[in-house]
């Protein structure tokens, strides 16, 4: 099942830079594992914001929740999930 997920990151302004870097490094490694195994199909940055739109391909809600809650930045994110269905006019 495909899901479009918007993630808006809001790190605390008083977070030490070295702590922020460590969390971001773990986030990148975690997300790249999911991208390589095909569950995190696409990721696009929202211009001018610390946000992204991503497309996940997982069997269902529970797995998506598990993946998202495993993100190191999860405690600092506002997340919106939209389940997707194939459009009848799509030629692919």
Give residue 56's pLDDT: 98
- Does residue 92 belong to any structural domain of this protein? no
Report pTM.
0.92
Judged against a pLDDT cut of 90, whether residue 92 lies above it is answered with no
> What's 41's domain CATH number?
3.30.70.1060
Cβ-contact 14, 76 below 8 angstroms: no
Q: Which domain holds residue 8?
A: 2-84
Count up the domains in the chain and report the number. Answer: 1
What is d(CA 15, CA 4) in angstroms, rounded to the nearest whole number? 29
Q: How many CB atoms lie within 10 A of CB 53?
A: 15
């Amino acid at each position: 099942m495909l899901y479009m997920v918007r993630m808006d990151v809001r790190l605390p302004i008083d977070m030490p830079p070295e702590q922020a870097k460590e969390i971001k490094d773990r986030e990148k490694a975690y997300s790249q594992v999911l991208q390589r195994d095909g569950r995190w199909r696409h990721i696009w940055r929202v211009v001018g914001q610390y946000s992204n739109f991503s497309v996940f391909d997982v069997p269902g809600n529970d797995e998506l929740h598990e993946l998202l809650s495993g993100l190191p930045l999860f405690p600092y994110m506002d997340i919106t999930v939209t389940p997707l269905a194939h459009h009848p006019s799509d030629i692919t």
